[in-house]
Every structure is written in C-alpha cells, then in structure tokens.
Structure 1
Amino acid sequence: MDALDGRLIRLLAEEPRIGVLECSRRLQVARGTVQARLDRLQTKGVIGGFGPEVDPAALGYPVTAFATLEISQGQGAVVREHLAGVPEVLELHTITGAGDMMVRIVARSNADLQRVIDRVVGFEGIVRSSTAIALENPVPYRILPLVDQAAAE
C-alpha cells in the first residue's frame, strides 16, 4: 500500500462510478498502472467490491440495534447458518468477552425490532441475548482515514 494506492481508493470511494480511464487521467498515471493497481488491490482483498452503498433507513428500516448472543457449545456453525437466513441481520461477528457473537440488526420500528429479536433468538443454539438500540450514528462506518494512514506509512 503506497500513496498512489491510497489516492486511487479514495477516488473510487468518492466517485464509485468513475471508470479506469478517468481514474488514470485524474491521478495522472497510465491507464495500465491504474488497472494493475486495481487488480492487485482486489487480489489482496483490500478492495472487496464496487457495489452501491445502501442505507437501511431509506429502505424502511430506520431502527438499528446490536445484540450480543451467547450460544451453546459446539453450535457455532448452525447458529451462523440460522443468522445468515435472517434478512434483518446485517453483520455477524464472533467476539470475546461476555458473549460469543454480536449481530447488527435493523427493523422497521421498535415494535418490529421485537419480531426480529424473537426470530434471531428463537433458535435452540442461542442460550441468551442482550440487545442495545442505537440512538444515532455520529461516526458512520468509514474506511478512508485508515486508508490514508496505511498509505502514509
């Protein structure tokens, strides 16, 4: 990761519909250089995709919550499969600490959140859960400050 990689990633993040040729023009490097860098960044897993950013609230799911789940020993795989089948589960992380997994879930309302939680925890492999509703998101998911830091090192 160098400064050019950082500038390329920032450009793509700011203007995701930009083409390789326009990237090369703006970065003042050859088109082949941009393509080679993109290919390398994708191969290394630095860039995982070029899909649109979708806002759950704009889709009608304005409530975000985080649930910490404790699972039965040896049930990790089946719980993961269960959670992957719940559309309102946006993320799943295995964690250390008081719980075993943390999920980010969305719902249409607080009342709908209860339905989603019931669906999430209504599974034999889940022993206990604790849920916190997010009130606001003052620092939304971001990656560019980290890209800038990595490119400067």
Structure 2
Amino acid sequence: MDEIDRKICELVQADAKRSTAQLAEAVGLPLSTTADRLKRLQATGAVSGWHAALDPKALGVPLCAFVLVDMEFEGEAQAAQAIAARPEVLELHHISGAHSYLMKLRLADMASMQRFLAEAVKPLPAVTRTETIFALDTLKETAALPVAETADD
C-alpha cells in the first residue's frame, strides 16, 4: 500500500458516498487508475465494506456501557460466541489481565442493561462475574482507523 492507496482509504473512510471521480480528483489520478486501485483495495480486504455512521441517540440507544466479563475456560468459546451474536454488543474483545473479555454495548436505558445482563450474559455457564462501567459522556467515538505507513511500505 503506497501513499495514494492510504489517501484513498482515508477519503472513503471519511465519506463512503464519495464518487470514484471525486476520489480521482482528490488524489490526482485518472478515473480508471483510481477505480482500479479502489478495486484492488477491496480485493485485498483493506476496504472491507461501506457503512453509514448512525446516531445512537436518534436510534434510541443512548446508553453506552463497557462490561468486563470473567469466564471459566469450560464453555468459554460458546459463551463468547453467544455474547458476540447479540445486537446490543458493538465490540467484544478477548483481553489480557484480570478479566476475560471486554464488551461495548449500546442500549436504550438502565432497565435494558439490567435485562441484557440477566437474560443474555449471566445465565451462560462459563460466566463467573461481570463488572459494568457506564459512559457518562462520550467525547470521541469512531470506527475510523488511522491510515499510517506500515513496515511493508
């Protein structure tokens, strides 16, 4: 991936609705060359999809919570799979340290949070403990990745 590919990635990440012609103009390449580069970025998986950014409040899920989950090894894979399948779970990370997993949730309210834990997480046999942290305010939330040079460049 060269500097032009990184620039194309930055541009489509910032605005996926940008046309190939607009991308070509922004990177200073012919339309066909830019289209070929974009196709290659998709083929290699560097660009893996086109997404819209949605407002959690407008969609009725303003509560942002992070849950640390402790699990026993027996049944852990099945429990993690069950948790990851839930639509409330935006992220699920297997982490190092004192806890097994960290999940990020978006829910409507505290009652929804309580139901989620009581019905979807705590009944799982591998789950031994949860610790919930609520976001009081969100100063930055993004799915945008830094597009930087790599050692392969």
Fold shared by both chains (TM-score > 0.5) = yes
Deviations 1:40-80 (A, max 9, x none): 32233322211212233221000010111111113232112
Matches within 5 A, 1:55-66: 55-66=55-66
| TM-score, length basis structure 2 | 0.85
Partners of 2:8 and 2:60 lie apart in 1 by: 33
1:133-148 matches, cutoff 5 A: 133-143=134-144, 146-147=146-147
Residues 8 and 63 of structure 1, relative CA distance in 2, 3 Å threshold: same
Structure having the higher helix fraction is 1
Match in the other structure for 2:44:
44
Q: Is this contact kept in 2: 1:86–1:120, CA < 8 A?
A: no
Q: Which amino acid aligns with 1:66?
A: F
| Matching residue's letter, 2:125 | E
| Structure 1: gaps (5+ residues) | none
Query: How much identity, in percent, do the aligned residues show?
Result: 28
Q: Are the aligned partners of 2:13 and 2:144 in contact in 1 as well (CA < 8 Å)?
A: no
In the other structure, the counterpart of 2:115 is 115
1:1-153 to 2 correspondences below 5 Å = 1-118=1-118, 119-143=120-144, 146-147=146-147, 149-150=148-149
Deviation at 1:32, TM superposition (A): 2.6
Runs of at least 5 residues in structure 2 that lack an aligned partner in the other structure: none
Displacement of 1:142 after TM fit? 5.0
Aligned AA (2:97): G
